[in-house]
Amino acid sequence: MLKTRIIPCLDVIKNKVVKGVNFKNIRVMGNAVEMAKYYSLSGADELCMLDINASYQNRKTFIKTVESIAKVINIPLTVGGGVSDLRDITDLLNAGADKVSINSAAVKNPKLIRQASLRHGSQCIVVAIDGKRHKNKMKVVIKGGREITKNELITWAKQAQSLGAGEILMTSMDTDGVQNGFDCNMLKKVTSNVGIPVIASGGVGSLEHFYLGYLTKSTGLLAASVFHSRKYKIKTVKKYLSSKGVPVRL
């Protein structure tokens, strides 16, 4: 049986994992390579890392960090943040990423999804979508939720799939960083409208939140703070899910 994936997410600046609510009060949580190694050894099913400050200078160090991480882990690695064109995607894959996630660039230029999946295969192209409720509608937002686009969430998710996305990384900006649980309503809408894997992201604070995320039919559950703060070990989450009858890799 296919297992539900537990995916720690590293928000990275250069080579440091950071945590900041809405990009304010950024706090260093640790060294990215060390943390990646720790998660790989302690039972993570996959690892996600995002360059949250993809400026020209920071980028070089970030790519070196991707290379170092790819060398020390042997689980799949998804890398995103600041991916703007095919060149960025190729660079990250060459650095050792197994999958690359595209967010704003895909919204601005949907053809990028098709070009990237034709060149590298759908299996390594993840479309990251940030969703937010606006005037009773679920919309796609960019720039960390500060800019609401005209795209309707479900339409965009379906379009991403038909353009060749292999997976959707779905973050709700209504629940992200608040630790009150995933946006289950939004996730269910997405999973029931696409046929590709969906990773749930944004809002995990308790063990039960992981279980509720599983019930949305998301096949991957992503979390950051609860792992970085050592509130839960990955094994703790998996044992809990297993006791609720969720298939996990123990």
Query: Catalytic pick from 45, 51, 88, 130?
Result: 130
Residue closer to another protein, measured from CB, 29 or 116: 116
245 binds another protein (CB under 8 A): no
249 binds another protein (CB under 8 A): yes
Q: Note the Cα 169 to chain centre separation in Å.
A: 5
Query: How many residues are listed for the chain in this entry?
Result: 250
CB 181 within 8 A of CB 205: yes
93 binds another protein (CB under 8 A): yes
Contacts of 102 (CB under 8 A, 6+ apart): 80, 83, 89, 112, 113, 116, 125, 126, 127, 128
137 binds another protein (CB under 8 A): no
Residues 39-78 that bind another protein (CB under 8 A): 40, 45-46, 70-71, 74-76
Least distance to another protein, CB of residue 120, Å: 7
Whole-number Cα distances in Å, 218 to 26, 90, 221: 29, 28, 7
CA diameter of the chain? 47
> Which one of 9-17, 116-124, 149-157, 235-243 is the stretch in contact with another protein (CB under 8 A)?
116-124
216 binds another protein (CB under 8 A): no
213 binds another protein (CB under 8 A): no
CB 101 within 8 A of CB 78: yes
Residue closer to another protein, measured from CB, 8 or 220: 220
Q: Which two tokens stand for residue 61?
A: 């160090």
| Chosen residue from 55, 94, 109, 185 binding another protein by CB under 8 A | 94
Whole-number Cα distances in Å, 124 to 119, 226, 248: 10, 27, 22
Site of interaction with another protein (CB under 8 A)? 1-5, 40, 45-46, 70-71, 74-76, 93-94, 96, 98, 120-124, 166-167, 195-197, 219-220, 249
> Which of the residues are catalytic?
11, 130
